[in-house]
Every structure is written in C-alpha cells, then in structure tokens.
A and B are shown apart, each in its own frame.
Chain A
Amino acid sequence: MFSDFDFGVILRSLPYLFKEGMTFTLTLTAVATVGGVILGTLIAMIRLSSLPVLPKIAAGYVNVMRALPLVLVIFLFYFLMPYIGQWALRADQPIQVGALSSTIITFTLFEAAYFSEIMRAGIQSIPRGQVAAGYAIGLTYRQVMSYVVLPQAFRNMLPVIFTQTIVLFQDTSLVYVLSITDFLGAASKIAQRDGRLAEMYLFAAAVYFLISFTASMLVKRLQRRLAVAR
C-alpha cells in the first residue's frame, strides 16, 4: 500500500514547508505564548484583587473564552478585529489588520484565558503568610507581587505553562481555515497541488508529533528538576 508513495514530493517541498509554514507556526506560537502569559497574569491578578466590578468582568471574560471553540473565535476575530480598531482609533474606516497580526491577537486573547487560570492557581499556591510578611516589612502591593508572589508563582507553574504552550503550538494549525500558510496550510497546499495527500499529511503529523513529543519530554524533565529543588 505504500508502494506508490512519493517521498520526493516531501523532499522538494521542505524549504517551503519550513521556511514559510513552520516559521509562521513558530512565530505565532512564541508571540501568542508571551502575550498570553502576560495578559493572563494581569487577568489573574485582577480576578484575585479586591477591586470593584473588575474581577467579575475578568472572570466573565475567562469563562466566555473557555466556553467557545477556537475555530469560531478565529473566524469571528479575523472579521471583527478591523472594526474594533476603527472604533478604538475613531478612524473613518475599518483598520487593516494583516493575517499574521490578526491571528497573533486572536491567539493571545484566547490563550490568555487559559494562561490566566494557570497563573491564578500559581498565585494561590503561594502561602498567604508570604504576602503578609511582605506587607509587614513595608512592601507595597506592586512590590509584593513583583518580588515575592509572581516569581514563585511563575516558577511553580512553569511546567504547566510549557504544557499549555505545546497545546497552543498544536492549536495554531487551525488557522488553516483562513487559508493562511502555517505549517499545515503549507503541507495541504502542496498536497492538493500534487495530489499527494497521504505523503504530506503523514509527514505533517510526524513533524508535529516529533516537536510536541520532544517538548513534552523536556517539560517532564523540568518538572522533576523543579520538584527536587522545591
């Protein structure tokens, strides 16, 4: 059944698959992770704060995002983003947002909801005594957060954050629905052009697997090291 496999098609398309496709995938993964963690941490801090109203809004945001399928959000934001830009900038027509920027913003906003849950657990894992001690020696809220709570929370949650990043890496394949040339998009374009679906999709699966599997092994290692250090 593999007799008429043409592995040459994979070889010939490697530069395109990786230089265009994988670059897009990795850029999106990296930027959305950093953005998502930052925004997620902010959301988590708001949720745990004693501010009026804001914690409710933050919680609502997280719950709504977590209830929606990413595919729906990808479509919706791709169409919606320019209007939000127009409204925010008071421009007289929708603001142009390119495919990469749009997907980066979408994934950042979407993943922030998940990262915020991770950071919330991380912040809550820090004994309250430490916070109290911080205040007792005269630190402000900002100082307690940035010198005492967040570094530890972040460190404790690092394996979980990386695990979520692996999920995010896999989720980026969904930009396929917008015809964007991410790694899967590149593979499918070659597959359809040359009628070589089996080769290209199996190859794409193998690449995703190798990257995700290796990364998750590294995360497990990190987890063990952190566990020992604690």
Chain B
Amino acid sequence: MAAGSRGVNYHWNWGILLEPSPDGQGTYLDMLLGGLRWTIVTALCAWVVALVFGSAIGVLRTLQSRTAQWVAGAYVELFRNIPLLVQLFLWFFVVPELLPREWGIWIKQLRYGAFYTAVVAIGLYMSSRVATQVSAGISALPKGQRMAGTAIGLTPAQTYRYILLPMAYRIVLPPLTSEFLNTIKNTSVALTIGLMELTGAARSMQEFSFQVFEAFTAATVIYLLLNAIVTFGMRALERRLAVPGFNAAR
C-alpha cells in the first residue's frame, strides 16, 4: 500500500501537517490538536455528568424502596436502549423546540451550543452505564458494611457517603476506566452536531487539504496515544486504590 507501489494512485504528502490551515490558527497539525483539546474537554465534562447522575441512579438501584428501584431501572433502560446519535439529535434539535420559546432561543444561541449539548447527551448516555457499575459495586460489598454503618449511628445517606460509595468506587474502578475510555471515543459522535473534536477536525482537514489518509492516520495515532496515556494513568490509580480481595478476578 505504500506510495509508488504499482497502481495504487494515492499521493502521500505528510508535509501537509505542517502547512498552514485555512482557519488562520496555524498548521493542520494545530487544527488536529485543537480538535484533541475539544475531545478532552468534552470527555471530561461529560464524565463529570456521567459520574454524578450515574452514582445517584446507581444508589437508587440499591435502595430498599421498590419505587426507587423502578425509577432507576427505567432510567438505565431508557438511556441505554436509544443510540447515542439519536439522543444527541433529540437534545440538539428537539428539546429546545419543546421548551418555552425564550429558553429555547437562549439555549440555541449559546456560542458553544454543540459543546454543551454534547456534554449533556454523552454524559447522560454514559451515566446509565456508570449507574450499572456503581450499583454492582455497592451490591458486591458484604452486607455487614451497611449494617456497621447503621450500628454506629449513621443515617442511610451518611452510610452511602462515607462507607458504601467510597468502597464501591474502588472496586469498580477498572470497569469505570473502560467507561471513561468509551466516553472519550463517544465524543466523536458530536461531530454530527458541529463540534470540532478530533474526528471532526480530521474530517475538516481532509476536506480542506484533500489529504484523506494523512488526516485520518494522524487522528488515529493521536487517539491511540490518548488511549494509552489514560489507560496507563488509570492502571496506576487502580493499583493504588485496589481493595485487597476484590480485584483479583480482573
């Protein structure tokens, strides 16, 4: 597949990465790195949303109340069974139209509307997965821990806050790592609503420079590096926070 091999008429030009891009912000490489920045910022913000909502729903799932369990179950099924792209379109195109007019206009004219929408949509989508992990983590804890909390006079909220959740997070850190990696990858779906994240930047670079494979190969390499760095960092964290006797299976 190398250039020059018989017949494969694609003209490689890696120098394109260092040529100026039409946005006047620097080279094409800068454009890709700008995309990387959006990918990282979007993924981190969406991850915060996912953790907050996912933990709340995950806790609901482990409560005694039937209603709480049903609500949490419905939430998880709702966000898990609709494709992310469809959810993104609902948040972007449909929700503002259903709100009172002034609110809708205000939302739509936010300068970084695509970014906020992506954070909400991807965050909530991932929260259903986080919820599953968190409730699994809590359920994996010995019953005695909950009882111990009650015994020393903690309210249920305090028991969750100080005993169950900290332990649960440590137990499910490895699956959460992979959900975070999924969040990073899922940010690419937001190119459909105009977010210039890394894949979107690569697509733009291809359109402006016509160097398809340089653009997508460079983006691929950046994704692989990002993935490697996050994995490396999280493994270190996992080792530090591992609960003896719980993570052996992973």
Contacts and interface: CB of A to CB of B under 8 A. Distances in A.
Interface of A: 1, 64, 67-72, 75-76, 79-80, 83-84, 86-87, 90-94, 166, 170-171, 173-174, 176-177, 184, 188, 197-198, 201-202, 204-205, 208-209, 212-213, 216
> Which of A67, A84, A92, A212 lies at the interface centre, i.e. has the most chain B CB atoms within 10 A of its CB?
A67
B191 A71 contact: yes
> Which of A71, A80, A208 lies at the interface centre, i.e. has the most chain B CB atoms within 10 A of its CB?
A71
> Which of A64, A91, A93, A201 lies at the interface centre, i.e. has the most chain B CB atoms within 10 A of its CB?
A201
Interface string B154-191: 00000000000000000000000000010011111101
B188 A205 contact: no
Interface of B: 1, 5-10, 77-78, 80-87, 89-90, 93-94, 97-98, 181, 184-189, 191-192, 199, 202-203, 212-213, 216, 219-220, 223-224, 227-228
Nearest to A84: B1
A92 B212 CA distance: 20
B192 A205 contact: no
Contacts of A75: 199, 202-203, 216
Nearest to B99: A1
B232 to A, nearest CB: 13
Nearest to B190: A71
A213 to B, nearest CB: 5
Q: Interface on chain A toward B: helix, strand, loop, or mixed SS?
A: helix
Given A71-B188, A84-B1, A201-B90, A174 B220 contact: no
Given A86-B8, A94-B8, A201-B86, 17 more contacts: A67-B185, A67-B224, A67-B228, A68-B185, A69-B189, A70-B185, A79-B216, A83-B8, A173-B83, A173-B85, A176-B85, A198-B94, A201-B94, A208-B83, A212-B82, A213-B81, A216-B77
A14 B78 CA distance: 23
Contact of B82 (A1, A69, A177, A205): A205
B90 A205 contact: yes
21 contacts: A67-B227, A69-B187, A69-B188, A69-B199, A71-B191, A72-B219, A75-B203, A76-B216, A87-B8, A90-B7, A92-B7, A173-B86, A174-B83, A174-B85, A184-B86, A198-B94, A205-B86, A205-B90, A208-B82, A212-B80, A216-B81
Given A86-B8, A205-B87, A64 B224 contact: yes
Given A68-B223, A87-B5, A209-B81, A176 B192 contact: yes
Nearest to A76: B216
B129 to A, nearest CB: 11
B81 A72 contact: no
> Which of B7, B187, B203 lies at the interface centre, i.e. has the most chain A CB atoms within 10 A of its CB?
B7
Contact of A68 (B83, B192, B220): B220
